[in-house]
Amino acid sequence: MNKKIKPPDEKVMINCPVQGKPVNFLHCSKEKKGMPCHRALDCWYSHFQVKEFFREELSDHEWFDAFGEPVQPKVLNHMDVLKLEQKRAEKESQGKMHN
């Protein structure tokens, strides 16, 4: 039997980077017209299993609306840029060889 994940007590406050003041989890979970703030996963992960909590609470559609696609780390973005540049350079060098 899976035990339901409970959020922190309403008395637990963290500094909100969006609001610029201390807020509790209840605020973050209903911040956007009853939907979680897009930063809730980042802000609360060290306090409890926030990702698992929202996975239990939200439908797939609600999850996507709240958190969207996962953001790639910058390292991966840089690697993608390097790969594109490498392909472009290869095409250029192939073009020069055929001229």
pLDDT in tens, 66-80: 998 654 555 656 667
What's the number of CA atoms in the CB half-sphere (13 Å) around residue 81?
Answer: 7
pLDDT tens profile 8-30: 999 999 999 988 999 999 999 99
Which residue type does 84 have?
L
pLDDT in tens, 28-69: 999 888 999 999 999 999 999 999 999 999 998 899 899 986
Strand 22-24 to strand 13-15: parallel, antiparallel, or no bridges (unpaired)?
Answer: antiparallel
As a whole number of angstroms, the distance between CA 6 and CA 12 comes to: 13
Distance, CA of 74 to CA of 53 (rounded, Å): 27
Predicted confidence band at 95 (pLDDT cuts at 50, 70, 90)?
confident
Please give the pLDDT value at position 73: 56
